[in-house]
Structure 1
C-alpha cells in the first residue's frame, strides 16, 4: 500500500475515530457524575424500604429524551397485522418467524401456531411454538386459512440466522407460503421496501414495490400499507408512496 493510499484511508476513518473518542469521553463524564450522585443519594433512595448498595448500581444515562423513541417498522407493522387479522377473525392463525411480540399479542385473541427456524421456548395459552424451515414447510397444500410472515422473507438464505446460503431463498419461501395457503385464505407479508431493490448482505434484502408484487401474481392484493423513511404510517398506500424511499416497510394483505 503506497503512502497516498494510506493518507486517503486515514482521512476517511479519522472523523469516525474522533467521533468515537468524543463519545467515550462523554460517557465517562456522565458516569463520573452518576457515581458522585449515587454516593450522595443512596441513603435517601433506600428510604429504609430497599437496600441500595454500590454493587447493585445500574446506571441508565441516556433515557432522558424529549419523546419516547421507537422503531417504526416494528411498531407499525405489528399494529397493522393484528388489526387486519382481527378483521378477518380466523379460527386459527399460523405465523412463520415474525416478531415474538406480534405472536404473543395475537394469541391473546386468536389461537396461534408459530413456526421458526430457531423455535422459541414460549409457554402460554393459545400459542404453540414449533420448528420449521420456510423453504420446506411441513404442511399440506391449500391447508392454511390465515397466514403471516412479517419482516422475515428479506433474510431467507442470507445466513444471518444460521440458515443455509440460498440467493433465491426468499422466492422459495414465498412459493411455499402460496402453496399452503387455502383457497380464499389470507396472507399477510411485510418486507423492507424502497424505490431501488438491493441487498445489504448479510442483513437483508430491500425490495421495490413492483419486484415484490411480481412474486404474488396468483394472489389478489387486498391492501397495501407503507411505512416511509419519515417514519409515517400510510394505511392506504400505493406504489407512488415508495418512490424516492430508501428503506421503508411494505405491508401486504393478499387473498388466494
Structure 2
C-alpha cells in the first residue's frame, strides 16, 4: 500500500512543483488518519487521492466543480434577497463572483485572501473553533463543496474525523433562526473518506442530519453526467442509494428552525 501511495505521490509531484513540499505532510497525515478513522464509523477511509498543494494556495482557488451549482445557488440568494450573506470557503472565481455582482458578500475561510475584491469582505476564520461574536451572526449563509474537506488536512487544518459534523454545527450556530443555509457536497452510493481529497456522502445520511435542525426547502442533484436535476424527492428510495451516483453533487437549500 505504501509503495503504491509513494508512486502516486511521485506522479503528483512531477505535475506540480509544490507537490514535493506537500508530500511529507500527506504521508504524516495518512498514517494519522488511519489511527483516527475508527472513531467515526460512518466514514471509513475507502480510498486515497493525494492533494498536495492546496494548503499553500489562497482561499477559494478551485478551478472545477461546478458551473450549475454556483449559478443555481447565486440565483436563489438573489431571489431571497437576505439582509446579509456570509459564505464559508466556496470558490471565489465562480459562486462568490456571481453573488458579488448583485450584493455585498462576506467570506470566512481558514486560508488567507491577500487581494481586495469589489463587494467582498474577507475574514480569516477557523470554523472548527467558532468565535463567540459570530453566533447568530447572519440570516443567510452558504458553503458549497467545502464541508467534505474539514478535518482531512488538505488545507493545513488539523486532522479530525468528525470535522464535517463540527463545521456543520458551527454553521448552524452562525445562522439566525429562520435564516437560510445553501449547501452542497459530493454524494455517492458509497460513503467514506477519500484521503486527503474529500469525503463522499450518501444523500439519506445528509437528509437525516439536516432534518434535526432545518426544514429542507429545495434539493438538487448534479449527477455523474454533470446534469443538473431539480424536483427530486430526497426522501425517496432512490435517494437512499444517492440516485445511483458514483460522484455526484447534492445541493440543499435549508431553513433553520
Do both proteins adopt the same fold according to a TM-score greater than 0.5, normalized to the shorter chain? yes
Deviation at 1:140, TM superposition (A): 3.4
2-structure distance, mates of 1:122, 1:169: 28
Could you tell me which residue of structure 1 aligns to residue 229 of structure 2? 234
Q: Is the 8 A contact 1:171 1:215 kept in 2?
A: no
2-structure distance, mates of 1:121, 1:106: 20
Q: Which residue of 72, 81, 85 corresponds with 1:93?
A: 85
Deviation at 1:174, TM superposition (A): 0.3
Could you tell me which residue of structure 1 aligns to residue 208 of structure 2? 214
Deviation at 1:103, TM superposition (A): 1.2
Alignment of 1:30-179 (within 5 A): 71=64, 73-101=65-93, 102-138=95-131, 139-179=133-173
Could you tell me which residue of structure 1 aligns to residue 182 of structure 2? 188
2-structure distance, mates of 1:198, 1:243: 17
Could you tell me which residue of structure 2 aligns to residue 17 of structure 1? none
Deviation at 1:237, TM superposition (A): 2.2
Q: Is the 8 A contact 2:70 2:98 kept in 1?
A: no
What SS does the aligned partner of 1:243 have?
helix
2-structure distance, mates of 1:122, 1:128: 11
Alignment of 1:189-204 (within 5 A): 189-204=183-198
1:159-180 CA-to-partner distances (Å, cap 9, x unmatched) read 0110000000000000001111
Instruction: Determine if the alignment matches structure 1 residue 254 to structure 2 residue 246.
Output: no
Show structure 2 runs of 5+ residues with no match: 8-62
Whose Rg is larger?
A: 1
Show structure 1 runs of 5+ residues with no match: 1-8, 14-69
Once superposed, which parts of structure 1, at least 4 consecutive aligned residues long, lie more than 3 Å away? none
Deviation at 1:125, TM superposition (A): 2.6
1:169-216 CA-to-partner distances (Å, cap 9, x unmatched) read 000000001111101100001000012212111110000011112222
Could you tell me which residue of structure 1 aligns to residue 244 of structure 2? 244
Pairwise CA RMSD: 1.8
Normalization by structure 1: what TM-score? Answer: 0.69
1-structure distance, mates of 2:207, 2:161: 18
Number of aligned residues: 188
1:112-149 CA-to-partner distances (Å, cap 9, x unmatched) read 10011002123133211110011123343322101001
Greater relative contact order (CA < 8 Å, ≥ 6 in sequence): 2
